[in-house]
Amino acid sequence: MKRAVLWVFVALVVSYLVLPALVVVPMSFNTSPFLQFPPPGYTTQWYEQFFADPEWTDAVLLSVRVAAFAALIAVLTGTAMAYALVRGGLRFPRSVETLSALPMVVPVIIYGAGAYVLAIGLSGVSSTVLLAVAHGVLAVPFVVINVRAALETTDSRLELAAQTLGASPFTAFRTVVLPLIAPAVASGGLLSLVLSLDETVVALFLTDGGSQTLPVKMFSSISYQLNPLVPVAASVMLSLTVVLGLTYLGIRLVARIARPRTSRRGVTLQEDLV
């Protein structure tokens, strides 16, 4: 009985979180030019207009480019920071840990305003690059959390054994540690992609009318009028998020299945070294 009540509660919570996002899908096929639910009829004309309009397609492509660069920055920086926290022997690890979590706790409006002030002094740098760096900084904590957890459950003696056999520290990390923590690194990268694709506040500060990400374009399209293409854009964004979410779950599932095999290989390697 308790299990049934728990499942009902979970279903209600999931429905509360998911259903509002799914409403945009039927609205994107609305025959009415107004944002109306339930739709009086269904048509694909808004999708045809969306993908035929270069302003919307350019916004999608810009969002994808920014998210890709932001994820790369976050993965490289976050992985290095997580490794330093776990294996680096830092004198003040608590301070570094707090510093790595700051992008999660600082209000995004303050971060956006600060990024805007810095962008004024870097007027010669492309706004796309500045936005990618800003999104990458916001995503670093998610990579640090994932990679640090993986490093803490990985036997450090395997890396030391590789170095004892003649491998350089970088080679030992690349050939021994990185394959073991690859699922966590990939998960952090996917979370960084989702965060960048969804981020609006910082993008409002760092983009202009000529180069808008998809969330900024959606925001500007409903600020002064009701645009029937906004639900289409929301559906496209939702589709990208769902694909990334399923990929993330797939990576975690594969990592959970492969973890015992990795552990057995590690134990065998340790026994061979002994």
Q: Can you spell out the DSSP letters for 45-94?
A: HHHHHHHH-HHHHHHHHHHHHHHHHHHHHHHHHHHHHHHHHHHS--S-HH
The yes-or-no verdict on residue 153 having pLDDT over 60 is yes
Which pLDDT band, with edges at 50, 70 and 90, does 69 fall under?
A: very high
pLDDT surpasses 60 at 200:
yes
Q: Which of 48-52, 85-89, 159-163, 252-256 has the weakest average pLDDT?
A: 252-256
Q: How many percent of the chain have pLDDT more than 90?
A: 3
Mean model confidence pLDDT for the chain: 79
* pLDDT value of residue 124: 63
Average pLDDT value for residue range 116-134: 80
Q: How confident is the model at residue 255 (pLDDT cuts 50, 70, 90)?
A: low
Q: Is the pLDDT of residue 79 over 50?
A: yes
Q: Taking the CA atoms of the chain, what radius of gyration do you get in angstroms?
A: 23
In the three-class reduction of DSSP (H, G, I as helix; E, B as strand; rest coil), residue 154 is classed as coil
Instruction: Assign 72 a pLDDT band (cuts: 50, 70, 90).
Output: very high
What are the tens digits of pLDDT across the range 81-94? Answer: 888 888 777 677 77
84-88, 121-125, 130-134, range with greatest mean pLDDT: 130-134
pLDDT of residue 158: 79
Q: 23: how many CB neighbours lie within 10 A of its CB?
A: 13
Tell me the angle at which helices 93-105 and 54-87 cross, rounded to the nearest 10 degrees. Answer: 160
Instruction: Give the residue, 159 or 197, on which the prediction is more confident.
Output: 197
Out of 2-6, 62-66, 254-258, 264-268, pick the least confident. Answer: 264-268
**Cβ pair 239, 157 in contact under 8 A:** no
